[in-house]
């Protein structure tokens, strides 16, 4: 391989060596920039995938939060109904107690 390279370089006219170096440098830079573009594309795809995953997770958790808030509101409504029924029951017990006391007091007289 080394001999072939030496033979190739010796076959080139010495006045054309700067042009060959410029061409080889251009090819090297072209390959380097192609690699950078490929890396940039992979990075962009990974970033877009991560962004989409985060977006999906946020939507999922938002939906779950909405469900929990709805469920919590439903439980609050049930608790309010139970509190109202308990108040009514306490009022009726107080009325019943007064009625029983009145009846017991009438019998004593």
Tell me which of 12 and 46 has the higher pLDDT. Answer: 46
Q: Work out the average pLDDT over 14-26.
A: 85
The string of pLDDT tens digits covering residues 59-95 is 889 888 888 888 898 899 999 999 999 999 999 999 9
Average predicted confidence (pLDDT) for the chain: 89
Task: Copy the structure tokens of residue 13.
Answer: 């006219």
Q: How many CB atoms lie within 10 A of CB 107?
A: 7
Q: Work out the average pLDDT over 5-34.
A: 85
Q: How many CB atoms lie within 10 A of CB 81?
A: 10
In this prediction, residue 20 has a pLDDT band, given cuts at 50, 70 and 90, of: confident
């Amino acid at each position: 391989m080394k001999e072939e390279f030496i033979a190739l370089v010796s076959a080139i006219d010495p006045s054309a060596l700067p042009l060959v170096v410029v061409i080889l440098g251009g090819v090297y830079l072209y390959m380097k920039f192609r690699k950078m573009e490929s890396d940039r594309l992979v990075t962009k795809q990974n970033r877009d995938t991560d962004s989409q995953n985060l977006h999906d997770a946020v939507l999922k958790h938002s939906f779950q939060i909405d469900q929990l808030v709805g469920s919590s509101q439903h439980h609050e409504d049930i608790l309010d109904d139970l509190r109202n029924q308990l108040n009514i029951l306490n009022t009726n017990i107080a009325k019943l107690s007064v009625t029983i006391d009145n009846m017991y007091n009438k019998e004593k007289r």
